[in-house]
Amino acid sequence: MNYRHGYHAGNFADVVKHIALVAILQHLKKKDAAFTVLDSHAGRGRYDLTGEQAGKTGEARAGIARLNGLSGPMPEALATYLSLARQSHAYPGSPLIAAQLLRSQDRLIAIEKHPEEFAVLKDVLMPFRGATVENADGYARAVKLLPPPSRRGLVLMDPPFESPDEFSALAKALREGLRKFATGIFLAWYPIKSQAEADGFTGEVLAGGITKALVVDTRITAPEGKLGRSGLLVITPPSGFAATMQDAARVIATRLGTAVTVQWITGSE
C-alpha cells in the first residue's frame, strides 16, 4: 500500500474506522475524568479530496461521497462522524476527528514519522490546545508513552502496511502496549488480503493474554488489485460498542455496498 494516506482518505475503510473512533471517544466522554488519545501513525490530519492524490484513486467517491445526503434516524456516533466529515471538501483524518471531540481536560498525542506529513499535521492541530504532535517512530513512541497520566484512554494504531513485517510489528506493539496499559482501549486497523494472515495477526495479539476483544470486518466489491476488505481489532471495547457498530453498518451498508460483521474473538459484552 502507498504510505501517503491521501490516496485512500475517505474510502470505505476510513468510514468504518472513523465511526468506530467516534463511538469510543463518545463512550470515554461519559465520565468527567480526563482521558488521553494516542495516535501512533497520525498522518497529516486533513486530506484534500479534490486534490491529485485522492483524484488518482477515486476511493473517496466510493466511500464518504456516497453518504452525502444521508439523513434520518441513525446512531449518535454515525451522526457525529458525518457532521465532521461533511464540513468541507477536506476530509478529516483520525487525529483531527479526535482533536475536535476532546474536552478541555482531555489530551491527544499524535505521532507521525514522515517529515512532510508531520509538518502538515503540526499546522492542522495547532488550534487545539489539548493536542501535541511528535515526529517519531509510532510504535516505539506510543508504547513508551504508556500508561498516560490520565490512566484512561484510547490507543489508535493505523500503520501504512508498506513493510512486509508490518503485521508482526503491529502485534508486538499492541502486546507491549497492553502490558503497560491493561485498562486502555486499543483500536488497530489492518488490511485483509488473506484470511490466514488476518487470523495469524489476531492470534499473535491474543497470545499476550487478552481476555476481551472483537473484530469489525468490512468488505466491498473492489476492482482487481484494489483493497476490498479491512479489519478493526478492538481490544477492551467499551460497553455497547458492538451494537453501535452493527447499527451504523445497517444504515451505511446499502450506500457503500459494504458487508460489515462484528465478531467477538475473545470474551463478550
Closest by CA to 99, choosing from 166, 171, 22, is 22
* Residue 218, all three cell numbers: 468490512
SS3 42: coil
Exactly one of 137, 158, 199, 247 is catalytic; which is it? 158
CA 30 to CA 114: how far, in whole Å? 34
**Contact partners, residue 21, CB within 8 Å, separation at least 6:** 94, 97, 98, 154, 156, 187
Contact assessment for residue 49 and residue 91, using Cβ atoms and an 8 Å cutoff: yes
Contact assessment for residue 156 and residue 40, using Cβ atoms and an 8 Å cutoff: yes
CA 71 to CA 93: how far, in whole Å? 22
* Single-letter amino acid, residue 170: L
SS3 141: helix
User: Beta-carbon neighbour count of residue 114 at 10 Å?
Assistant: 17
Half-sphere exposure of 89 (CA within 13 A, CB side): 6
* Single-letter amino acid, residue 42: A
- 199 catalytic, yes or no? no
Closest by CA to 172, choosing from 204, 197, 142, is 204
CA 210 to CA 17: how far, in whole Å? 21
Residues noted as catalytic = 158
